[in-house]
Amino acid sequence: MVMFTLGGCEHCKRLREGLDTLNIPYTNIDISTNDKLGDTLEETFKCTSYPMVLLKEPTQITWLPETELLTSTNIRTYNNIYELIDEIFNTFNK
C-alpha cells in the first residue's frame, strides 16, 4: 500500500499513526518535495486533498478524500481519517 501525503498535514499524520498502531504496512510518499508527482496525482484522480491511498493487494483500491471521478469499487471516497483507517483495516483482515 502506498499513501501520498503532504508535510505538515494533520490528517496525513493521523493516518500514519493509525496504520502504525494497527501494524498495517505502507509506503509513505510525501509529495511536498515532488510537485510533478503531486500534479500528476491531482490530475489523474481529480482530487487536490490528501492523503490519497493506493492499494494493489489483496485487491486494487484507491481511497480519496474527494474526487470529481465517479466512485466505483476501485475508487472510494472517505469522510474522515478514522473511517479510512477502518476501511483499510477491514480490507487487510478479510
Query: Which residue from 54, 57, 2 is spatially nearest to 30, judged by alpha carbons?
Result: 2
The amino acid at 19: L
Distance, in Å, from the CA atom of 81 to the CA atom of 94, rounded to the nearest integer, reads 20
Residues ≥6 apart with Cβ < 8 Å to 69: 45, 46, 75
Q: What is the pLDDT of residue 57?
A: 80
Residues ≥6 apart with Cβ < 8 Å to 72: none
Its pTM stands at 0.89
pLDDT, tens digit (0-9, with 9 covering 90-100), for 48-94: 999 999 998 878 899 999 888 876 778 999 999 999 999 999 988 87
**All domains in the chain, ordered by first residue:** 2-92 (3.40.30.10)
Distance, in Å, from the CA atom of 49 to the CA atom of 18, rounded to the nearest integer, reads 19
Q: How confident is the model at residue 8 (pLDDT cuts 50, 70, 90)?
A: very high
pLDDT, tens digit (0-9, with 9 covering 90-100), for 22-44: 999 999 999 999 999 999 999 99
